[in-house]
Structure 1
Amino acid sequence: MTRLALLLVLALSACGTPAWRDAAIPVRPAMGFELDRYLGEWYEIARFPNRFEEGCTDVTAAYDLNEDGTVAVTNSCPNRDEMAEGTAETTDDPAVLRVSFAPGWVPFATADYIVIWVDQGYQTAVVASPEAGLGWILARDRQPDAARLEEARDVLRANGYDPSALIEPVQVTGL
């Protein structure tokens, strides 16, 4: 757990934009985003390459509201028996969450996770962290509708990402 969190912090602090992200195109947060509808468990359907999730399958991300108004973030990689627990704070834009997986005493260990799209039923979402060139397609079910996935890829393109670089981890039914 600690190793995964440390790797996440290091990856987010790395300089440079990867080849699959055109930094000249601004990332636009989702309009009308509702955090309470976004909370809950999501399956990672696709991600851009990153060191902290290398080899992970059956990846999930869970978002739960804490009593103090922050959001508990739990990312799991069960095939490596790893879990990263962090905290997110809302910003002036509800679709932008400032996330940290590091202990509070570690400076500069936050990154903006921007929900750039969520479908009308909050069943599929696209999350980006443009400073690090990171991005994910998330869904409420392990095998979402192909049309929703293509819409998610279109959103990535419009926000400066090249979806051909996406990794689609295995999601095993029934875990």
Structure 2
Amino acid sequence: MIRLVLPALLLVACSTAPARIEGFRAKGPIYSNAVMDMAQIEGRWTQVAAFGAEGCRPGGAEFRRDGAGLSVAARLCLGGEELRYGGPLAVTGPGRMTPAGKAPAPLDREWWVLWVDVDTRTLVIGTPDGSFGVILNRGGALPQDRLVAARDILEWNGYDTGRLVVW
């Protein structure tokens, strides 16, 4: 009997081992918002949280539709640095976009919309490699219920929310 139970217990113990963190998220599945119309993010957003953002002040982003599709003017505090990108975004899939111009790392990676609330007031963007994650909001301060929802989405997508800085 022990010969049958011991291997099963070892298998369970192995499957619950913590995932290795790279950047700000563990390796594993990550999901973009597949049903969102990217035009919904048009407008001005204020940065209200980011990973490893000690040392700089929050920024924001303004998304615009233009003749080529979508563009952004962004100044974000990510990983303790103030980073800027202004230019086109190539829509690369459902809820996914990539800067089409020269952007500084980690902004040069594919951005995934992980969540947007039903009224399009709070937006969570992350990267599959975990190099950055950010919460953007429009229309004033971020209410506690949407902060909790945004944190839950980040955690569900493998982010270490203990490293999230909220302003």
Match of 1:9? none
Aligned residues: 142
* Alignment correspondent of 1:135: 133
1:4-49, Cα deviation, whole Å (9 max, x unpaired) = xxxxxxxxxxxx822x31112x110113111111111111110012
Whole-Å separation in 1 of the counterparts to 2:101 and 2:164: 23
Distance 1:38 1:125 in 2: 8
TM-score by length of 1: 0.71
In 2, the alpha carbon distance for the partners of 1:81 and 1:17 equals: 21
Maintained 8 Å contact 1:99/1:111: yes
Question: Structure 1: any 5+ residue segments left out of the alignment?
Answer: 1-15, 104-108, 170-175
How far apart, CA to CA, are the structure 2 residues paired with 1:57 and 1:142? 17
Q: Return structure 1 stretches of 4+ with deviation > 3 angstroms.
A: 80-83
Whose Rg is larger? 2
Distance 1:113 1:87 in 2: 13
- Kept in 1, the 8 Å contact 2:25–2:130? The answer is no
Would you say the 8 A contact 1:42–1:138 is kept in 2? yes
CA contact (8 A) 1:100 1:111 kept: no
Corresponding letter in the other structure for 1:136: V
What is the TM-score with the length of structure 2 in the denominator?
0.74
Higher relative contact order (CA 8 A, sep 6+): 1
1:75 counterpart = 2:74: yes
In structure 1, how many angstroms separate the alpha carbons of the residues matched to 2:82 and 2:32? 32
Report deviation, 1:114: 0.2
Percent of aligned positions that are identical: 26
Residue 81 of structure 1 and its aligned partner are, at CA, apart by 9.5
Amino acid at match of 1:17: E
- Across the aligned residues of Structure 1 and Structure 2, the Cα RMSD in angstroms comes to 2.8
Code of the residue aligned with 1:43 in structure 2: it is: T
